[in-house]
Structure 1
Amino acid sequence: MPLHYPLSAVVAPQVGQRDDMTLALILTTISPEVGGVLVRGEKGTAKSTTVRALASVLPPIEVVAGDRFASAPGDTSPDGPGPDNRWPLEAETETRPVRLVELPVGATEDRVLGSLHLSKVLADGVAEYEPGLLARAHRGILYVDEVNLLHDHLVDLLLDAAAMGRSTVERDGVSVAHAARFVLVGTMNPEEGELRPQLLDRFGLTVEIAAPRDPQLRAEVVRRRLAFDADPTAFVASYADAERALTDRIVAARKLLPEVELTDAVLTKVAEVCAAFEVDGMRADIVTTRTAIAHAAWHGRTHVTRADIRQAALLALPHRRRRNPFDAPGLDEDLLDQVLGDEEPDPEPPAPQGPEGGADESDESGFETGAERPPQPTDGAERPPQPTEGEDGGSDGAGDGDRPDQPTSEDEGLVTGAERPPRPTMESVVGSAAPYQVRRFEVTGTGAGESGKRSRALTTNGRRIGAEPQGEKHGSLHLVETIRAAAPHQRARGRTDGRLVFHDSDLRTARREGREANLVLFCVDASGSMAARKRMEQVKTAILSLLLDAYQRRDKVGLVTFRADSADVALPPTHSVDIAAKRLADLPAGGRTPLAEGLLTAVEVLRVEKVRDPRRRPLLIVITDGRATHGPDAVNRSRAAAGWIAEHGISAVVVDCEQGPMRLGLAGQLAAAMQATHLPIAEVSAQALAGVARVA
């Protein structure tokens, strides 16, 4: 069995950050009803290392010997004896470590929920259920790395099972229900895209982490990692006492948890905090309360203090304040302190006894009034001193410093069709209005990409439209078609006892049609002819609305801009529409219109992405007024680039930004050359489209 890096050896990157992650993981193992942990952070910040190390400090569990569902004596289980499937209290047990079950991003629904045991169905005619990952993770930890890249329907299954503590399977002639109580831990890099706000809310706690900025801490991280890789056994042994202390403290906290008193004053204070931050629903109140109770038990107290509520709010509320996909998670700690006030909640349920008792207990636990972070777990004295220079690390700086260079005086003198007289600089940065719902654009034909919500495709989920030989594919079994394939060969196979004789070549999997996610590449004209404030605001609002639509449909997005004498890839294809929105906000306008360069740069981005991700089909959205004013023979070069796009069958939309009574119709000509959909910018809105339909 491979050795895991010790939890107590993980170096805190900055004051409180790694402590918050470790604390959140420990609190949710003390009280699994908290609902799991989502860890957000940049790559290379030991997210996976910390999660895998957690299992080694959890106390072992007793399970019924031979039970496939890790049941305890007295629990119901599909393997349990008797009519009620309940194991007797005197059942033989065995002790084993807590399991850490890792769910791959590419897992299928059958693998997660479980399915028919195919070999027994085909060989013996017995419909037996084969447990999936949810059953294996019962009473353990289910870890999903890069949870933001997991298919939405699988995330829904995981979170529903985590909330209900039970998994029910009704499929392929199997009806099974089994316990599935586990600690759900997800890690993600926000640069690869965000989870939907509805899914964020289903995680009990969330933590933001970043790599250390202090050189001494970075050196200590490398030193410990090299020591572990050189001799894992000796390194783990050196932290054995610290690991054992963590285990003992978790056991003590679990025993103390039922004794922690929850007073009306605590409930009222939690409600005041949640109301002050305007979180939706009641899940935030419930999770914050449970976390505060677990935090009190972790510090050996039988009553909840102000410090417990504060720490619980810092872990449970930031991601629940995110109402818009472009809103960054966060919490105003000054407002939190203002709502909490200076007085401790009453520790006695019957009547107030004065604040001094709670304050003393808080001091004993290591919390002072207004303390920003909890003390580190008792994980040994090997940690280096923490920096105090005021590092925050709360932002990775994505999107900063990406403004194009200032135009030269030559650029300023060559602006064609500019709507204002020349100034010392022709650059202007205009904001956008609130986004709106847009009409749906699709890639033509039927694809076979990743599941999403945009274009038609053959996917692993969706409506069943046929069957195909299994081959190397692993999908849901199409039982009727499998029997139909085997039936003509029964006499040749020597069928004698009434049972069908199956071969592997008979297996048929369901062919399903659903929706796929696409690559939506924006090619945006930021030249002088677009620089009028009203027009650029309209353009940015339309792009922001299209980005919101791409976020909801789980697309990858990219951004190419062209102005002056060149085109730039402002954002390579990514799942993070947040970063695209930031780049859009800083997009300046001014200069000539290098339309041909913009189209060719977009084509090159699509070519490279085709090599990286061949199954994901692209949708090119060109936002321009159709003018081409840069370079010799600019118009013909633009038409040639448009013809190349049409020749290669790239699905495209030209959003026409031309306005006013005197229109040249150049964007329409560009759309015709590209064989693309031509759409005036005013008709991007779904509401405007509905208005046109009503008039017609």
Structure 2
Amino acid sequence: MTSPYPFSAVVGLPDLRLALLLTAVSPAIGGVLVRGEKGTAKSTVVRGLAALLPEVDVVAGCRFACDPAAPDPSCPDGPHAVDASLTGAVRRRSALVELPVGATEDRVVGTLDLQRALGDGVKAYEPGLLAAAHRGVLYVDEVNLLPDHLVDLLLDAAAMGRAHVERDGVSVQHAARFLLVGTMNPEEGEPRPQLVDRFGLVVGVASPTTAAPRAEVVRRRLAYEHDPAAFAARFVEEDAALAARIAAARRALPGVSLPDHQLDRIARICLAYRVDGLRADIVVARTAVALAAWHGRTVVTKDDLRDAARLALPHRRRRDPLDPPGADQERLEEILEQELGGPDDDPDGGDGGDERPDGDPDTGGPSPAGTPPEGDGTDGGFDGGPSGPGGRGGAGGAPQQPAGGARDQRAEGAGDQRAEGTEPPAVEPAPSGGPATAPAGELAFAQAPYKTRLLKIGGRANRQHGAHAGRRSPAHGRHGRVVRSRQPSGGKLVTLHLPDSVRAAALRGASRVHARDLREAVKVGREANLVLFVVDASGSMAARQRMTVVKTAVLSLLRDAYQRRDKVGMITFRGAAATTVLEPTASHEVGVLRLAELRTGGRTPLAAGLLQAARTLHGERRRDARRRPLLVVVTDGRATSGPDPMTVTPALAGVPAVVVDCESGPVRLGLARRLARALSADCVPLSALSTAAAHPGS
């Protein structure tokens, strides 16, 4: 078996390493979410952590890793007798279990054999990944792409520390306490806010921006690939020292004191930062205590509070569903400076350790505000650089990107201007970082979004075989309301329809249910779609502030698509051509940014927009045939450039579509309705898109 890449061999990334070490010291912190672009060693660091975790004692033969000193009373492999002497225990390494994005629900929580349960009265249960991760680490790569039903399972397990399997009156539960670690690329979309909130700490990572650390990363990687065992042997002592320090900090954790005046500071910081709920206060307190134990202190200091707040708070303040987490780093820094920047006011005569030795190679974490990093940052050790998701640390002074990232901050800025009705600067920076340029065309600004009516696809898709769960269009699947039953078509029975199974046995005159009597429940739920917007950005849209209304409508539809877990894409047409301003993606925040930058002017090449939509949908169908598209054309139907749009509508035959009619004024030509008929689409007037318009009394 290939040796894992050593944790100590990773170059830079001090905030990430510190966050992982703190959660290893105190799993009650709630895990770590790692945000960063691809190729920034997120997975490598997480996998290296498993080798540092202390070994655990488990009951011999227990598939659920029960602690022999305090076994789970409801363990399916139990009951186990309490073994204080650990004579019946087996010692093993803490498990690192990876949850793949494509995992099924049965693979995560475990499988119940319903045929044996009904026929033989036996609870035949096969444990899943949650059972395997108990008392270890559950690692979810690309956690933002995890399906909703798996997110719900993780939320339940993280909140209760237990996993439940409920199938038609048959119930099994077991302990599932684990360190949850997730990694994600913000460009691929944000996870649900409820899931983000379950992570105690969030860290943003970025690639080094200077040559020396980048070269050192490549040098070490090549050495590891050439001889993994020899490379790992170079860092055995450093990893062993970190493992010993984790174990020592765990032992010292119960003896760390959090004074009342420091607890008051935490409350004031969280109130000033306007976080939601009280989980933030609890996580900051737990992280500060873990930091004190990690540094060998018995009392929490204000430096511990500062570093804990920078790791635990940036992702907990969101004003809008499309606001990325971590977009208020400057505000957090101001609050920390106000609450912690002055002289210590400890009534007992000092914090007893605010000053931290410079250059401590084992701290792995943030240093006081304003302290420059020591050394050149090329040794890969814990360089004590500036902390927090917004600081600059790591190898060679590489930036530790804010938890939302610079791209997300720009998107949020657009959202703020939208919500407040103010106008951003008309001059945009050049993509290459060169001189600012003023793109041609007029720039309109969206107003506050509203709740839109549901635009959905008719008919029902079949999601039985891995299509995309969501909240828009009807679809058959494993979740939803039961509409009928049927005989299993082959393979394992997934969802039992108990009444019809009993009825089938009764019709045969049998006294018990046999395998041939079993009936499978057919359920109808909802699926996520690809919503492709085709937006008219020609000069006619600038008349009478029409583009402001259109942008507000598209912004509202983008928010609706986010809430329904859809992918989104956007095509605009003006002048003589159509442009794909947003390739289909799950990153709705990027869609908000592109919409804010959209300018109007020129003629109306409607046919070009429709052809571009056909090409885009054809490419997406080849990538993911299970996701059904919904085309939303926002136009008044006029075409003043290019061919007649009626000649290109056959290219979109069979594509579910909605035409949002933007025509206004006393004289209306009805061209959008004509286009809708050609596309076999619904036609919705722009004024009727809001639910308030549909229900004026609400």
C-alpha distance after superposition, 1:524-571 (max 9, x if no partner): 000111123721111111101000000000000000110000001111
* 1:38 paired residue among 14, 33, 37: 33
Letter in 2 for 1:679: V
Which of the residues 18, 21, 24 maps onto 2:19?
24
Which letter does structure 2 place at the counterpart of 1:457? A
Which residue matches 2:621? Answer: 610
Does residue 261 (structure 1) correspond to residue 260 (structure 2)? The answer is no
Residue in structure 2 matched with residue 416 of structure 1 by the alignment: none
Name 2:340's counterpart in structure 1. 341
Distance in 1 (CA, whole Å) between partners of 2:279 and 2:34 is: 19
Comparing 202-211 with 122-131, greater Cα deviation is found at 122-131
Distance 1:83 1:654, change over 3 A: closer
Aligned residue among 643, 651, 655 for 2:656: 651
Tell me whether 78-87 or 675-684 shows the greater mean CA deviation: 78-87
Relative distance call for 1:336 and 1:388 in structure 2 (3 A) is farther
Which of 557, 560, 580 pairs up with 1:546?
Answer: 557
Deviation at 1:344, TM superposition (A): 6.4
Matches within 5 A, 1:614-629: 614-629=625-640
For residue 50 of structure 2, give the secondary structure of its aligned residue in structure 1: helix
- Give the distance between the partners of 1:32 and 1:425, measured in 2 at CA: 51
- Matched residues in 1 for 2:367 and 2:649: separation? 66
Distance 2:629 2:261 in 1: 56
For 2:216, what is the secondary structure of its paired residue? helix
Matched, 1:128 2:124: yes
Q: For 1:474 and 1:52, locate their aligned partners in 2 and report how far apart those are by CA, in whole Å.
A: 36
Give the superposition deviation at 1:74. 3.1
In the TM superposition, what whole-angstrom CA distance separates every residue of 1:228-274 from its partner, at most 9, and x where no partner exists? 11111111111111110110110111011111101111111101111
Distance change (3 Å), C-alpha of 1:539 and 1:79: closer
2:469 is aligned to 451
Aligned to 2:308: 312
**Deviation sequence 1:397-440 (CA, Å, 0-9, x none):** 58999xxxxxxxxxxxxxxxxxxxxxx99611111111110000
Residue ranges of structure 1 left out of the alignment (5+ in a row): 13-17, 402-423, 492-497
- Which stretch has the larger CA shift, 527-536 or 325-334? 325-334
Distance in 2 (CA, whole Å) between partners of 1:389 and 1:106 is 37
Number of residue pairs the alignment of both structures matches:
647
Alignment partners' CA distance in 2, 1:260 and 1:383: 23
> Per the alignment, in what secondary structure is the counterpart of residue 600 of structure 1?
helix
Cα pair distance change 1:358/1:435, threshold 3 Å: same
| Alpha-carbon distance, 1:166 to partner | 2.1
Bigger shift: 168-177 or 235-244?
168-177
Whole-Å separation in 2 of the counterparts to 1:6 and 1:447? 46
Equivalent position of 1:60 in the other structure: 55
Distance 1:45 1:361 in 2: 29
Q: Please tell me whether the aligned partners of residues 166 and 172 of structure 2 are also in contact (alpha carbons under 8 angstroms).
A: yes
CA 1:156–1:99 in 2, change beyond 3 Å: closer, same or farther? Answer: same
Q: Which amino acid aligns with 2:605?
A: P
Structure 2 distance, partners of 1:513, 1:268, is 50
- The residue correspondences of 1:59-208 to structure 2 (distance < 5 A) are 59-77=54-72, 86-90=81-85, 91-117=87-113, 121=117, 125-208=121-204
CA distance in 1, matches of 2:443, 2:381: 51
Which residue number corresponds to residue 216 of structure 1?
A: 212
3-state SS in 2 of match to 1:155: helix
* Structure 1 residues 470 and 261, CA gap change in structure 2 (3 angstroms): farther
What letter matches 1:222 in structure 2? V
DSSP-derived class of the 1:357 partner = coil
Name 2:685's counterpart in structure 1. 680
Matched-pair contact (CA < 8 Å) for 1:102–1:144: yes
Say whether the 8 Å CA contact 2:165–2:173 is kept in structure 1: yes
The SS at the match of 1:261 is coil
Quote the sequence identity (%).
Answer: 53
Q: 1:375 & 1:69 partners in 2: Cα distance?
A: 45
Could you give the per-residue CA deviations for residues 491-544 of structure 1, whole angstroms, max 9, x where no partner exists? 9xxxxxx987759xx876543210000000000000111123721111111101
Would you say the 8 A contact 1:560–1:601 is kept in 2? Answer: yes
Would the alpha carbon gap of residues 153 and 356 (structure 1) be closer, same or farther in structure 2, given more than 3 Å must change? closer
Per-residue deviation at 1:381?
Answer: 6.6
Calculate the TM-score normalised by the size of structure 1. 0.85
2:646 to 639, 645, 649: 639
Is structure 2 residue 257 aligned with structure 1 residue 239? no
Residue 648 of structure 2 aligns to a residue in which SS? Answer: helix
Instruction: Say whether 1:513 aligns with 2:524.
Output: yes
Q: What root-mean-square deviation, in Å, do the aligned CA atoms of Structure 1 and Structure 2 show?
A: 3.3
Q: Do the aligned partners of 1:469 and 1:509 also contact (CA within 8 Å) in 2? A: yes
Report the counterpart of residue 296 of structure 1 in structure 2: 292
Q: Which moved more, 1:120-129 or 1:181-190?
A: 120-129
The offset of 1:464, in angstroms, is 2.8
Matched-pair contact (CA < 8 Å) for 1:343–1:355: no
CA–CA distance in 1 between the matches of 2:400 and 2:139? Answer: 28
1:489, distance to aligned residue in structure 2 (A) = 11
Partners of 1:63 and 1:95 within 8 A in 2: yes
Per-residue CA deviation, residues 307-352 of structure 1 (Å, 9 max, x unaligned), is 11111111111111123122232222531332323346666xxxx2
1:660 correspondence with 2:655: no
Q: Which residues of 2 match residues 421-460 of structure 1 at below 5 A?
A: 427-448=441-462, 449-460=467-478
1:353 to 348, 359, 365: 348
Other-structure match for 2:435: none
Contact 1:42/1:190 (CA < 8 Å) preserved in 2? yes
**Gap change, CA 1:346 and 1:134, over 3 Å in 2:** farther
- 1:363-420, CA deviations, whole angstroms, 9 ceiling, x for partnerless residues? 79777642579999x998768996666756554658999xxxxxxxxxxxxxxxxxxx
Q: 1:480 to 1:116 in 2, by over 3 A?
A: farther
Match of 2:431 in 1: none
Distance change (3 Å), C-alpha of 1:511 and 1:684: same
d(CA) in 1 for partners of 2:323, 2:304: 27
State whether residues 75 and 175 of structure 2, in contact with CA within 8 Å, keep that contact through their aligned partners in structure 1.
no
Q: Which amino acid in the other structure matches residue 320 of structure 1?
A: R
User: TM-score, normalising length from structure 2?
Assistant: 0.85
